[in-house]
Amino acid sequence: MFNLSELENDALVEIFNIGVGQAAASMSAIVHEEVTMSVPSISFMHRAAAAVLLGRGDHEHARICGVSQHYEGAFETEAILMFPEDKSLEIVRLMVGEAVPLQELTEMEQEAMCEIGNIILNSCVGTLANIFQHELQGSLPVYHVGTSDEILTASGSHSDTVVLMLHIDFILEKHQIHGYVAFILDISALHDLKDQINRYIARAMGQA
């Protein structure tokens, strides 16, 4: 399995925390309330293992809501923000500030969820691209709902494809919600990522 050294891991966690910090600031501006987000940890795992991690909930086939965007350029990745379905209801309704007594997200709420995903994913990938001094282009977000396996395979990857999983904490008005951002990366993108992290560390050390 692909692995990072402790130093590389810490650098990447720091980069993503900058990214979600910006996303939280954008969302705070939208709702005029404090939104905080952090990435406590990241891990690399095979897609199948990632699906198991996400699926382990009350029951095996718990539904997950996902918002995905495709990025390409210096490297190519499918980025997916994922929350258990009940948590995505909670996030959207907290953000929109209006409770709808329905078990599923309505069409308008799905669009709001897409916007939330769009803000978070663009911030994460944008920070990564800026720090790596890379150019990337992104697609518009797409909303999915299904099992973790269905969502992670929506981009057509193999079960042994490596997924970079970010654990994210989203806090709004005393509600703390855990979710994930998955980056589906091929092997060349992974090695490129490692190289870029090391260049970033070298630059950071050089300036210190």
Partner 1 sequence: MSGAQPLDEAPGDAAFRLGLLHGVLCAVNLGAIVLDAQRRIVLWNSWMVRHSGIEHAAAQGQDLFALYPALRGGRVESAVQQALHNHFPSLLSQSLNKAPFPLYAAGATAQQPGPRLQQAVEVTPIAIAGAAHHCLIQITDVSIAVAREKLLREQAMVLRSQTFSDGLTGIANRRHFDVTIEKEWRRAKRNGTALTLLMIDIDCFKAYNDHYGHQQGDQCLIEVAAALAGMLKRPCDMMARYGGEEFAMILPETDGEQARRVAEAIRLRTLELALPHAHSGVSGGLVSVSIGIATQAADVPVSIAELIGAADRALYCAKRGGRNRIAAEALD
1, 59, 101, 208: which one contacts partner 1 (CB under 8 A)? 101
* Binding piece for partner 1, criterion CB under 8 A, among 82-90, 103-111, 161-169, 185-193: 103-111
Task: Find all residues with CB under 8 Å of 114, minimum gap 6, and list them.
Answer: 67, 141, 142, 143
* Binding piece for partner 1, criterion CB under 8 A, among 11-19, 38-46, 95-103, 150-158: 95-103
Residue type, 80: I
The answer to whether 55 contacts partner 1 (rule: CB under 8 A) is no
The answer to whether 122 contacts partner 1 (rule: CB under 8 A) is yes
In this complex, which beta carbon is closest to partner 1, that of residue 53 or of residue 136?
136
* Residue 79: strand pairing partners: 69, 183
What is the distance between the terminal CA atoms of the chain, rounded to a whole angstrom? 32
The answer to whether 141 contacts partner 1 (rule: CB under 8 A) is yes
Torsion of CA 141, 30, 94, 88, to 10 degrees: 10
Q: How far is the C-alpha of 194 from the C-alpha of 5, rounded, in Å?
A: 10
Binding residues vs partner 1 (CB under 8 A)? 26, 29-33, 92, 95-102, 106-109, 111-112, 114-116, 118-119, 122, 125-126, 129-130, 135-141, 173
